[in-house]
Amino acid sequence: MSTPVLQQSLAPILVIEDEPSVIAFLRAALERKGYHVEHAASGADGLALLKDGRYGGVISDVRMPGSVNGAEVHRWIQQHRPELATRIILISGDTANSETQSLLERSGTPCIEKPFRVQHLLQVVERTFGKP
C-alpha cells in the first residue's frame, strides 16, 4: 500500500480554531484531499500539542478566546519549532486589524480571510505544506 509512504511524507496538519463549524469544514475539506488533521480548540491547547507532537503544518485562527491568539502561536513556533516557521497558515476574520497586518507583513505568512472558497483554501495549503 502506498498509504504508509504518504503518512511518512507528511505529518498531520494542526488546526487551531475555536469555531466548531469552521473546524468541521476545514477537517472535511483537508481530509477529502488526503491530509491528516488534528485540532485544538484554543491557542493554549494548540501550543500543548505542538510541544509533544510532530506536525506537517499549522493552520491557526488569528482571533481566539483565551490567553493565546494566532499571533502568539506564530511567535512560539518561530522560537521553538523553527522547522514549522514557514509552514503556518493564518485564517482571519478581520485582516484590517493593524496587529494582524504587521504580523503578516513581517513574516510573509500566508493568510486566508474568512469567508473563503474551498479552492482558495486548498491552493494555499498545497503551496505552503505541499501535497499530502
What are the residues binding another protein (CB under 8 A)? 19, 21-22, 24-26, 28-29, 32, 63, 91, 93-94, 96-97, 114-119, 121
| Least gap, CB of 17 to another protein (angstroms) | 9
Nearer to another protein, 97 or 107 (CB): 97
| Least gap, CB of 8 to another protein (angstroms) | 28
Nearer to another protein, 78 or 95 (CB): 95
- For the chain, percent helix, then strand, then coil, each to nearest 5? 50, 15, 35
What 3-state class would DSSP assign to 37? strand
| Least gap, CB of 87 to another protein (angstroms) | 22
Number of Cα atoms under 13 Å in the Cβ half of residue 83: 6
Task: Print burial letters for 67-106: b (CB count within 10 Å at least 16), e (below 16).
Answer: ebbbbbbbebbeeebeebeebbbbbbeeeeeeebeebbee
| Least gap, CB of 3 to another protein (angstroms) | 23
Nearer to another protein, 86 or 97 (CB): 97
